[in-house]
Structure 1
Amino acid sequence: MTLVLASTSAYRRTLLERLHIPFETDRPETDETPLEGEAPPATAERLAVAKARAVAARWPDALVIGSDQVAYMGDEVFGKPGTEARAIAQLQRMRGRIVTFHTALALLNTRTGTLQVEGVPTQVRFRDLSDAEIERYVARERPLDCAGSAKSEGLGITLLDAMPGDDPTALIGLPLIALSRMLRAEGLQLP
């Protein structure tokens, strides 16, 4: 069976390469708008499934991986900022606080219809950052395409006090521990 990553994210592609399994990528055309009253973890899990299903028809004999991440603090959700000004504002709001990054993973077997879904939360404690630190970080790393404006795999690690969680790759966008478990359940040998 072909392994397909339903994402064009360079971060997810780089993570999946760690497993040394050949795979394809396919762009899911998915509306990522949260539903009215939907909790952030439910949004991430619904979108992970939607992304896998969005490409499934093009891959009739495949294991399709969908993933999505939502960063939130209480009722406040932090999406991809898109601009430097929004990234700075997000980081100013998060400084000195704990933010949950909920990364959802879906694995769809298009041959059998079997669907596995798991959410992996990571509690990220940001340092009490100064405006100058935030502005320098955003100018250097340009984290405009990641939820919460912080790339822990890069310079963003300097913004944090702690990030306890079950899987360090979940924060980057693809929880490899959960994915490995799901792939083994589908009969793949890892390592």
Structure 2
Amino acid sequence: MKELILASSSLYRKSLLQKLNLEFITASPDIDEHPKPNEQPDKLALRLAIEKALALQSDYPSHLIIGSDQVASFDNHILGKPGNHQNTIKQLKLQSGRSVNFYTSVCVLDASSGRYYTDIDLCTTYFKKLSDQQILNYVNLDTPYNCAGGFKAEGLGISLFDKIEGEDPNSLIGLPLIKLIKILERFDIQVI
């Protein structure tokens, strides 16, 4: 079996991949994650997953490289990571009582052949109508400044929602494991 590389510095993606009981190492790809003009959120997520895997191809020429990305979309606009306290509060106020789509992509690249497979999972979050105090309390407790959508679903962020719709609950945290397992099977890697 080829060795696996997770092309990510995300502790959450690493933790999710560890659920599959596969041996892997992580490496951080250096890519430009800015969207291209008029790029749709799903296309951006797929492109970034591919670029993350390809960015490590020359460093790990005999490995299978897993790239993944998540893009949040609100009213057909891409939501970036808020980056600081004020932007997080502003973003959550906009999302209060509304729905946000999360496109979480995965790419598995066979570095030796250049062959890769991709997939994407859509998860829709339906936010509760939140008071300013609830938003402030949440942001102070979870500090989700560098998270797509301005929340951490693996933490207190789950309390912000009325419901979540999607095929794979892991996608909202950052890695669509069900789709990843199916791709790994195409490379003859069985999880069970």
TM-score by length of 2: 0.97
CA apart distance, 1:51: 0.4
Matches within 5 A, 1:172-183: 172-183=173-184
How much has 1:112 moved relative to structure 2?
Answer: 2.2
Q: Percent identity?
A: 42
Give the counterpart letter for 1:114 in structure 2. R
Aligned counterparts of 2:128 and 2:56: Cα–Cα separation in 1: 39
- Asked if 1:70 is matched to 2:76, the reply is no
Q: Indicate if the aligned counterparts of 2:21 and 2:191 stay in contact, CA closer than 8 A.
A: no
Quick one: distance in 2 between partners of 1:77 and 1:60? 33
CA distance in 2, matches of 1:169, 1:100: 14
2:112 is the alignment partner of 1:99: no
Q: Deviations over 1:39-84 (max 9, x none)?
A: 1111111011000000111111111000111101123221111101
Cα distance in 2 for partners of 1:109, 1:76 equals 33
**Aligned-partner Cα distance in 2 for 1:14–1:143:** 18
Aligned to 2:83: 82
Specify the alignment match of 1:167 in structure 2: 168
What residue number does 1:31 align with?
32
Counterpart CA distance in 2 for 1:61 and 1:77 is 35
Partner secondary structure for residue 163 of structure 1:
strand
Q: Deviations over 1:25-47 (max 9, x none)?
A: 11100000100011111111101
How many residue pairs end up in the alignment?
Answer: 191
Q: How does 1:14-163 map to 2 (within 5 A)?
A: 14-163=15-164
State whether residues 93 and 132 of structure 2, in contact with CA within 8 Å, keep that contact through their aligned partners in structure 1: yes
State the one-letter code of the partner of 1:42.
K
In 2, Cα distance between equivalents of 1:79 and 1:167:
22
Residues 91 and 150 in structure 2, CA contact (< 8 A), matched pair in contact too: yes
Tell me, in whole angstroms, the C-alpha distance in 1 between the residues paired with 2:146 and 2:171.
16
- Structure 1: 5+ residue stretches without partners: none
- Runs in 1 of length 4+ with deviation above 6 angstroms? none
- Tell me how far apart the structure 2 counterparts of residues 186 and 22 of structure 1 sit (CA, whole Å): 15
SS at match of 1:183: helix
Tell me by how many angstroms 1:150 deviates: 1.3
Residue 51 of structure 2 aligns to a residue whose secondary structure is helix
Q: Output the TM-score relative to the length of structure 1.
A: 0.98
In 1, are the aligned partners of 2:22 and 2:191 still within 8 Å (CA)? no
Matched residue, 2:14: 13
1:3 deviates by 0.2
